[in-house]
Structure 1
């Protein structure tokens, strides 16, 4: 019998989870995602895997069984579910627009019930635990227990798992074949800094804003308006923020006037010697967070964002500037995924 672990990555996006699990030695059978824009990126990096462009709400387990020739009760099969998390996100301001994501775990549950795989992994935002009057997670945990799964879940810091970002994530690992669930051991490292992942020493050349990289490296940067470029020019290097120009009438933003502690990191620069702030889908825009380069007068490039997400430098992204930024920002950091996979293999 083949004892190699294999996985199906639900809500796969550009393949962050698949990348990390593959690095750990898990065979990736397929990624499933509603958004077709992820297809070319996913297939370019996961040779031999399929990309199933389907809406999981309407997709049926029997269809997946036929597509991949999966067996039920396969002890070596892992189902990974990293559903869109807008509903529980603390930065979500229009909850009704993202309420569809509230029930995606229940849709994921249908596939677990049909196949009963050996392992289940869920990754999401910490708000999935804290949401009041929401029983989706509790119902899911009851379902796992009823179907013979042992599980552990916790909120982890990504900078404790090899990722140079200040980012907290909810992770659940469940097993039908073992009661001994082991999470990766947290690792406290002082060298998980921006400088260790981007910069000239890491192969990232000095670039202007608005640079378009013709190579697959995709070291492309977003353009800046003349005023935003001026704002960066007067922002101190290595961690400076908008306080440096708050009294300049030509540069101050009306919404921030007299609100020095209101979203203070917006328009700020990263520090070389600290982890990055969370890489979001809009990390290429200096107006959307502390995404200014520590020294250069521009925002982060696509490849710099990918590096801070721990994607390999040869990971290929396909699409336009905004699409690729979304692919990178939405992804689970591969290094964290790799460590989760290794904990399952070692178990």
Structure 2
């Protein structure tokens, strides 16, 4: 029974270690030579890192094997797991299409190839056997030049069939030197009616209030309630939603204990700021969305009523969810007995 929405999942981090290992085996990848066996491979991918930069290096490795030919293999297995094991009804996949194009090509040719990558991901996501509503968020990247990032915004505006918004990723500590550039790109995106989110206020080095007015959702954003709670009033006024990914902050060394998130949730609920609970990199973490829910409940970070509020918020802030209600509400309507039919059955 598909009931949940996932708003923040990276294509590069969504591949579970076992699936990636089998792909590398089948393709006789040289990467396997770095590991003695699968156990060593899994431990390498799922262990915690000291910093966000160190953690993001894992994406570079996965991106190197994700291309137009291999993406259908990974996406099929991603959606199968999301539907069967996570009960997802809605999934937004985010990634940087430029980083899935052949490295030997020139920049202009790689930009041209991005549309093909979007088409491959879009086609591969249309699976009748696993009916999840999917859409793509294209990530601009902090280490890519302006021309590439602008082309990513243009592609998002041109292909609304498969793309529902844009993001900026690549490490939030790298935005500072190009802040005016990011502002202009987001302003440009909004002028094209492209929906926006962005990795912001994830770490203490990624706090840029100048970017907040251009975002419809905030990727992570946990440092706002932790360090700058005075900003929550404006976040609520703008109707922005935080995409909180609990396991990530332990894996990147951003937080020492998951219970530190209680202050995040408490201050957001008090200020009327919505939170969508997400996985970020479910494959690299070896976790699924229901585990994130259970973990927050187990540590008394939220209660069941607050969990439901977060689940509702995820559908309400989803960029491409086509219905006015979440699936549970639709299902309740189907299961609600018709009083006239019930009366007729009783009379018979």
Q: Which TM-score applies when normalising by structure 1?
A: 0.32
**TM-score with structure 2 setting the length:** 0.32
